[in-house]
A = this chain, B = another copy of it.
């Protein structure tokens, strides 16, 4: 990236994907003087409401992609399931950051896990499941319970099925739609944590304080900072995230979700990588001077990374589905900052907003 000059205020950042992450990236970019152009197939994309320009088109519309790339100075994305072909096409016209490797290695759960394991980083035992017959040999490697996950396009617990003792594994195979999959051992964990780390074009990295996460039905429910882990373990977690970012030659924000194992043999196990800003980093909007969104924009823009110190402890609670209807109560709390995504339709399991509840900084 050394040959790419930093982008200047007034220039245009193109963002692929128009969900809440794109929306929060767009307002962070605007605050630094950039103009944003959102590209998303969904005409109701929440990010459109805070962007200077919008393109509504599928991700394989060559003409729309060309026009988009021609109108921006730099391209980034808010989610990892963009076709690689799309990124390659765009990349011939405008710089795209993070680069294609960040997507290539994380779009496929099997490729991702294999890469992490090859780096010598601990992951739960896993095995590929290409067809129904593979499930039994895979189960022999992972033991039970185990999670069967589609290799591609799963998120928020979608495309996953649990295989417990006594369960018919073929039922799980059917649940996930009989698609190429990965079977992962369900490791007993003490807690789930995530590292939100940014890597600049120059290779510099900075991590926010580590969040402790609680999921419900496969969807992130709460992130709490600081996580109740030792400084030593926190340092190890950041080192793991940094190693992954470097292996991907990642530029931008990267999230690495990990388990803290409840047996003492392996302490950290990498669960999932997201090559982008992440729900478990939303607390930074109110707990730090620079949010993960500004940090991502700084990283891809070629600017110095922002300081990651936290000025307040935060518990971030997602507002999922009907929970958004609690907004009047939240708005009346003295230390709760409400963030709503402007989604017209409330659906079960849909992320409608989040609340950051602030506390004075602890010494941890």
Query: Residues of A at under 8 Å CB distance from B?
Result: 6, 9-10, 23, 26-27, 30-36, 48-52, 286, 289-290, 298, 303-304, 307, 311-312, 324, 327-328, 331-332, 334-335, 337-342, 344, 353, 358
Least Cβ distance of A352 to chain B in Å?
8
Q: List 29 A-B contacts (CB under 8 A).
A: A9-B327, A9-B342, A23-B30, A26-B50, A27-B27, A27-B31, A30-B342, A31-B338, A31-B339, A32-B339, A32-B340, A33-B327, A33-B341, A33-B353, A34-B342, A36-B49, A48-B52, A50-B50, A50-B51, A286-B289, A289-B335, A289-B358, A290-B337, A303-B328, A304-B331, A304-B332, A307-B334, A307-B335, A311-B358
B344 touches A10 (CB 8 A): yes
The dominant DSSP class at the A interface is: mixed
Selected from B27, B32, B358, the residue in CB contact (under 8 A) with A30 is: B27
Task: Give bound CA distance, A6 to B327, whole Å.
Answer: 12
A50 to chain B, nearest CB (A): 5
Task: Please list the 9 inter-chain residue pairs (A to B) with the smallest Cβ-Cβ separation, ordered nearest first.
Answer: A33-B340, A49-B52, A307-B334, A304-B332, A27-B27, A9-B340, A50-B50, A303-B331, A30-B50
A102 to B353, CA, bound (A): 34
A49-B52, A50-B50, A304-B331 are contacts. A338–B32 as well, Cβ < 8 Å? yes
Q: Cα distance A327–B341 when bound, in Å? A: 30
CA distance A34 to B353 in the complex (A): 12
Task: Give the interface centre of A23, A50, A52, A286 by most chain B CB atoms within 10 Å.
Answer: A50
With contact pairs A9-B327, A27-B50, A48-B52 given, residues A337 and B33 touching in the complex (Cβ less than 8 Å): no
* Closest Cβ neighbor of A47 among chain B residues: B30
Q: Does the CB pair B49–A289 fall under 8 Å?
A: no
Given contacts A9-B340, A10-B344, contact A49 B31 (CB under 8 A): no
CB-defined contacts of A36 to chain B, threshold 8 Å: 49
Give chain B residues whose Cβ lies under 8 Å from the Cβ of A289. Answer: 286, 312, 335, 337, 358
- A353 / chain B contacts, CB cutoff of 8 Å: 33
Q: Which of B298, B324, B338, B341 contacts A331 (CB 8 A)?
A: B298
Bound form: Cα–Cα A311–B334 in Å: 13
Q: Given contacts A32-B338, A289-B358, could you give 7 more A-B pairs where the C-beta distance is less than 8 Å?
A: A9-B327, A48-B52, A286-B289, A289-B337, A298-B331, A303-B331, A307-B334
- With contacts A289-B286, A289-B358 known, is A35 near B10, CB below 8 A? no
The answer to whether B23 and A342 touch across the interface, beta carbons within 8 angstroms, is: no
Q: Give the residues in chain B near A332, CB-CB below 8 Å.
A: 304
Q: Is the CB of A49 within 8 A of B35?
A: yes
Contacting pair B35 A342 (CB below 8 A):
yes
Q: Which residues of B contact A304 (CB under 8 A)?
A: 331-332
Inter-chain contacts of A48 with B (CB < 8 A):
52
Cα distance A331–B289 in the bound complex, in angstroms: 13
